[in-house]
Amino acid sequence: MLSQLIVSHVIKSEHVDIRECDTKMPPKKNSVSHYKPKTAQREMSNIEKGMIIAFFSIFEKISFVATLVNCPWSTVRNFLTYACN
């Protein structure tokens, strides 16, 4: 019915006001994103990166630096190899 009304007005080149039509649009769904990352991996802040470099230059032990910064040993090791290049 509505499509026939719109088509007939379009063929006649008349203006169609959709607000005057008696059909109702379905309500919009509020979708909530349920995205969860697969790991707890996150990017280190610049402060953490600076602390790793400073502590390593003072103490020169990756295990001690990892304990102070509260990061895994492998993360500190990988960051230092990246930062030193």
Per-residue pLDDT, averaged over 34-52, amounts to: 84
According to the model, what pLDDT value does residue 16 have? Answer: 57
**Residue 13 pLDDT greater than 60, yes or no:** no
Residue of higher predicted confidence among 46 and 31: 46
Half-sphere exposure of 30 (CA within 13 A, CB side): 0
- Evaluate whether 77 touches 62 at the Cβ level (below 8 Å): yes
